[in-house]
Amino acid sequence: MTGATLLFAKALDFAARKHVHQRRKGESREPYINHLAQVSRLLAEATGGRDAALIAAGLLHDAIEDTDATLAEIEAEFGSDIAALVAEVTDDKSIPWVERKRLQVKHVATKSKRAKMLKLADFTSNLLSILESPPADWSPERKRHYLAWARAVADGCRGADATLEEGFEAAWRRCADKYGA
């Protein structure tokens, strides 16, 4: 087993255990791990599998925000590189939601290239989920608001990776066509 394969398997196992009881907000309520796997796959495709740490971070990117995982735990399990990537894309949940979203837009352009790649993969996966299984309680206005916010964050990621930018653009256009954004 290669080091990259072992790293991926460890990250998948960690993410699956931490997110075991979580479901997506969509009508089909798919397991949350599906989102993490999709983000990781998008990163693997964009890098040709050559950045194992980024691919693993795709599986772990929501662990601090959405589970009892800590940055220290991620660093102990996966090292400082992956922990730094996860920290770079983690929102401070002590800040109100609206302010967190505003700060994401404001600061995304200053993030590392790899963090921007992770953000693009995350938003692309979220947009595809909105297309395939939109949250039942989201009004058309709420969907358009999300699309506008996703666009603003993605604009701050320009130049990070052409493959991920193209994937985001395709998903965003499909959502915009469907929801009138």
As annotated, the active-site residues are 65-66
Q: Which residue has the tokens 């589970």?
A: 67
| Start-to-end Cα distance in the chain | 46
Q: What's the CA gap between 34 and 39, in Å, rounded?
A: 9
Q: What's the CA gap between 99 and 78, in Å, rounded?
A: 30
